[in-house]
Structure 1
């Protein structure tokens, strides 16, 4: 029996008189949990947790496929992968629900002739539906709910933590998938927390539905676990050091 059940039983049985007779140590023990004991993992500094799945470690795209079907057609060189412009989005071969996702990305250093949504545009789509925007938002004005680290067209970041173009940036994303009832209607919407370069920019915000460019988002279909997708938005965006921990 879990310690939580013991706590509830002890609290239920303890009368005010009995509680007064307990020592401080005994009162403390009422709310102490014996388990379950968390599993021990290795968490090296600037490394990958031992219980994580590496989605891209610099060598190949084995964990990815083209959304259009077949192998992922993005390029891998010098430990990074780049969007192969025009080849289409890629997605993980594995499905995920609740996750902790770490991903590093870099917008092109060349910005002349590009501004707004045309500068370093890509996106991280959770369950292939809900986008955390990738964009060069360093001295590059655009609509606020479309800049880097926005939940695209839904939530504006708390701050703009963008680094200059050409520098590596990171997202750490904690995501809880939506839950659907027996009638296929959303019972609990998705929520997401995003750290951009180590700074909290989305704090457990509610995802309002599938990401759309035009119109209002909605949960238009019930779904289960699904791949993580990276967008080809015709920009030379690079990625590296991608890993995920399944929190489901």
Structure 2
């Protein structure tokens, strides 16, 4: 490996990015499809209608109830009315995001250009997904093929992260349309660049050689409408939005450089530094001579394909200043680690613009120099900005994944709610259902399904920033204390534990599952979770015994919206998950408004002889 590859690749690169969703990353706004009415779609039969909300019975096939209002589009097909729904616009390359809700046993699909389907299905609890399950790229079909081979080229999702019927799910699709020459001959096939289901990448860079089964059109074109399947079963959608990418990339050319050495913390330091070398940037040049105490100034011509707002995003191990046409877009002085992002937006006309970027650093010489600059614009997909001759093969870091063939416990730091939590434990189960607990205050941070834990940032290189991350599809909890002593029912729930909170460790049962123990004064608390219902749910059991200085309360859940569905059954955080409370009639849970959210609380009437609260988290 040459020296340049191990420090900084010209101009601006450097470290490869393997995810579309990055810490701190912003983006230009998506174009929303209005769901105030059906004006964003071509006329369709009465199976499609606008609603304000939907409720699904997760125990009965196909039962959907909708309420009046706007913001949700609902499909309830009948023998007479079962049209597909097409958007008024057509698309080529597109990034699409939406939320959907499946009824029990239901089936639908999202067809890019009306031709290439991402399957939507009630696949809750499926252990080994097939190409007919939710999140799959559905198969192609030819009647002329032999029996058993008529369906082909179907791609099941890497992992099934489907949620229970009646819960909102997310789907993000980055699609590349097929291309054709001037005579209409196909040059490249359609391709799903990424499909992200409930926050997990389930497909990446998958070619589709032709329309999938039940497509609206059997030919292939550069453009086509988005289609929502309406003839198979009830489904609801909301927050549908997109970006179309049909413009060429931004180009950078005629780049010159100046290199200086010395202590560099701000733009003023660079201005005072003596230039050590300068010239035109050429392929495979070694511009940086050391890992620290330098400034690299780059100037050139930036060519943009169309008029509009352009977003520049930058991260670097050090400081940086970006200027376009003499206007500072990003001023990022001091020292910054590479997981910190900053950005700026500027309106540009189509054509050429002057470009200047200064990169400098003077701290932590044992850390390698790294800088990345990305740009996104109208019709221009987010791209790394670099010279055509300077882009190296991406450095691929093999993720360090912790698996759970049996119940497994991992202590680590956790990044949660924009804070690093330093006293956490993650519990993995062999049924691919997991959770993380904050031991410092007895708060639940996450529950998730899928793979267990990504420990790359704990063990790769120097183990910075020392974090473990869920490797599956998460439901995020507040992490607040689960038990608190309140002066009254209107007292605000504490963000952190009281001074008399003491963590007492945990015991482990025969299955290797921990029961966490702590005290609040003279009140002893034991908290344990275990999977149930074929790994579709967690049971959480909290036992309280002793005395307290005031009224003891237990926080079952909190979120933007909590609704009671039946006695002891609730949907939490606007239908992100369900919660069932055992013995709710006697425990008398209450829903209250506090901190601009809903909270589900249980007043604990007596703890002297011991009280057990048992609930179930279902998603």
TM-score above 0.5, yes or no? yes
> Cα deviation per residue 1:103-142 (whole Å; 9 max; x = unaligned)?
110011xx3xxxxxxx221110000100000111013589
Are residues 141 and 189 of structure 1, via their aligned partners in 2, closer, same or farther at CA, if it must alter by over 3 Å?
same
The alignment status of 1:90 with 2:68, answered yes or no, reads no
Report matched runs for 1:1-248 at 5 Å.
Answer: 31-32=10-11, 50-56=28-34, 58-66=35-43, 74-78=48-52, 79-85=71-77, 86-108=81-103, 111=104, 119-139=105-125, 144-153=130-139, 154-192=154-192, 193-212=194-213, 221-248=219-246
RMSD of aligned residue pairs (Cα, Å): 3.0
Are residues 64 and 142 of structure 1, via their aligned partners in 2, closer, same or farther at CA, if it must alter by over 3 Å?
farther
Distance in 2 of aligned mates of 1:100 and 1:191:
12
Are residues 236 and 221 of structure 1, via their aligned partners in 2, closer, same or farther at CA, if it must alter by over 3 Å?
closer
Instruction: Name structure 2 gaps, 5 residues minimum.
Output: 13-23, 53-70, 140-153, 247-619
Distance in 1 of aligned mates of 2:75 and 2:128:
22
Tell me the number of residue pairs that the alignment of Structure 1 and Structure 2 aligns. Answer: 193
Secondary structure of the corresponding residue to residue 227 of structure 1: strand
> Cα deviation per residue 1:13-69 (whole Å; 9 max; x = unaligned)?
xxxxxxxxxxx99xx999326xxxxxxxxxxx9xx965321114x41221111368x
Are residues 30 and 165 of structure 1, via their aligned partners in 2, closer, same or farther at CA, if it must alter by over 3 Å?
closer
> Cα deviation per residue 1:127-178 (whole Å; 9 max; x = unaligned)?
0100000111013589711110111012111110101111110100000001
Secondary structure of the corresponding residue to residue 229 of structure 1: strand
Question: Residue 184 of structure 1 contacts residue 222 of structure 1 at CA under 8 Å; is this kept in 2?
Answer: no
Secondary structure of the corresponding residue to residue 152 of structure 1: coil
Secondary structure of the corresponding residue to residue 29 of structure 2: coil
Are residues 189 and 235 of structure 1, via their aligned partners in 2, closer, same or farther at CA, if it must alter by over 3 Å?
same
Secondary structure of the corresponding residue to residue 138 of structure 1: coil
Are residues 142 and 183 of structure 1, via their aligned partners in 2, closer, same or farther at CA, if it must alter by over 3 Å?
farther
Question: Residue 105 of structure 1 contacts residue 168 of structure 1 at CA under 8 Å; is this kept in 2?
Answer: yes
Distance in 1 of aligned mates of 2:173 and 2:31:
15
1:232: Cα distance to partner? Answer: 0.7
Are residues 50 and 29 of structure 1, via their aligned partners in 2, closer, same or farther at CA, if it must alter by over 3 Å?
closer
The structure carrying a bigger helix percent of its residues is: 1
Distance in 2 of aligned mates of 1:232 and 1:141:
27
What is the TM-score with the length of structure 2 in the denominator? 0.29
Distance in 2 of aligned mates of 1:30 and 1:141:
44
**Higher radius of gyration, 1 or 2:** 2
1:87: Cα distance to partner? Answer: 3.5
1:182: Cα distance to partner? Answer: 4.1
> Which residue is 2:494 aligned to?
none
Instruction: Name structure 1 gaps, 5 residues minimum.
Output: 1-23, 34-44, 112-118
Distance in 2 of aligned mates of 1:224 and 1:143:
31
1:234: Cα distance to partner? Answer: 3.4
Between 1 and 2, higher relative CO (CA 8 Å, sep ≥ 6) is seen in 1
Distance in 2 of aligned mates of 1:164 and 1:206:
30
Distance in 2 of aligned mates of 1:222 and 1:166:
35
Question: Residue 128 of structure 2 contacts residue 160 of structure 2 at CA under 8 Å; is this kept in 1?
Answer: no
> Which residue is 1:18 aligned to?
none
Are residues 236 and 142 of structure 1, via their aligned partners in 2, closer, same or farther at CA, if it must alter by over 3 Å?
farther
What is the TM-score with the length of structure 1 in the denominator? 0.69
Question: Residue 73 of structure 1 contacts residue 87 of structure 1 at CA under 8 Å; is this kept in 2?
Answer: yes
Distance in 2 of aligned mates of 1:75 and 1:222:
30
Distance in 1 of aligned mates of 2:219 and 2:184:
7
Distance in 2 of aligned mates of 1:150 and 1:170:
14
